[in-house]
Amino acid sequence: MALDLAPALEIGRARVKVGTCSWTDATLVKETDWYPKRSMKAAERLAYYAARFPLVEADSTYYFPPTPELTASWVERTPPGFTMNVKAWSLLTGHPTFPHSLWPDLQGEVPSEHRDKRRLYASHLAPDVLDEAFARFRHALLPLAEAGKLGAVLLQYPRWFTPKDDTRAEILAARQRLPDLPLCVEFRNRRWLAAAECENTLEFLENLDLAFVCVDEPQGFDSSLPPVVAATSDLAVVRFHGRNTSTWEESTETAAERFKYRYAPDELAEWVPRLAELAESATEVHVLMNNCWRDDAVVNAAQLARMLAGDPG
C-alpha cells in the first residue's frame, strides 16, 4: 500500500521541513483526538503522522540506543522522502545514562566502582568501550541512512558543557566517531553564544560540518540560549522548546510536562523572517516543535507551516 507524504516547503534556496520532536508521546496519543483512533497501531500512527508532516525527531533514542530492527521498521512505516532526525543516546553526549541501557555484553566493561551507581557516564568507560558504543549507535541508524531518510543526529550537550578546549575535543571526537552521518549540535549553556565566544563557536561548528541548532526557549537562565539565527552547514535546524519559564530548570514527571507551552500565532510569526533568512544560507531547514504536551506541538507545527507557505490563517 502506498503511503502518503506531507510536502516540504520551497523557500529561498532551501527545502524547509516542519515537524515535531515526537509522534508517540502519551499525552498526544491518549489525551487528544489528533490521531483519529486511540486504538491505532504504532505503524498506523507513524504513517498518519508522515501524511501530515514530512519531518519528525525520534527522542526515545536519548534514553535507550535503537536497534537496526527498530530503525528498519521506521523506514518501512514511512513513505519515500520522509525525514527522521534522531536524538543521540545520552551516554554519547555526556549526560547521565541508565546503566541498563548499555548493551548487556558491555556492562561487564563498567569498572567495579561504578557498577552499582544509579547513573552511568561516558567518563566511567574506557575510550575503546566508548568507541564501541558510538559504533553500535551508528550501525543501528544505517537502515535510515541507506533509505535516505536520516536527516541528522542531534548531539544535545548538557548545561554544564561549557566552551573550553576539553569540550571542543569531545565534539571533535563525536564527529570522528560518526564521520559519515549528518550531525547537528545543540548547546544548553549560554556561554557558547556570549558576545566574545559566539563567532568562535559558529566557526568551530562550520569547520567540522556540524549544523548549529537554533532554539526558541525560555530566557533568563544560564541553560537557555538566545535565539541566534545561523547556519553552519548545508542543513539548518531550529528547535522550539516553548517559553515556559516555570518549568525550564525543574524536574518534572515527564519531558512533555517540562515543555508544556502552546505558542501564540504572533510568537510563531516572529520566526517567519528568521526562517527565511536561514533558507537563504542553507539548502535544507528543519523546523521542529518540542513542546510535545498533548497536541501543542502538532498544532503549532501546522500553524507555522501555513505561515511559511504564506497563509497567516
32-91, pLDDT tens digit by residue?
A: 999 999 889 999 999 999 999 999 999 999 999 999 999 999 999 999 999 999 999 999
In the chain, domain spans:
9-308
pLDDT, tens digit, 9 for 90 and up, residues 115-172: 999 999 999 999 999 999 999 999 999 999 999 999 999 999 999 999 999 999 999 9
- Print burial letters for 35-46: b (CB count within 10 Å at least 16), e (below 16): beeeeeeeeebb
Q: What is the pTM of this model?
A: 0.96
End-to-end CA distance of the chain: 33
| CATH T-level assignment (fold) for domain 9-308 | TIM Barrel (3.20.20)
| H/E stretch holding 10 | strand 9-11
Residues 6+ apart with CB under 8 A from 42: 24, 77
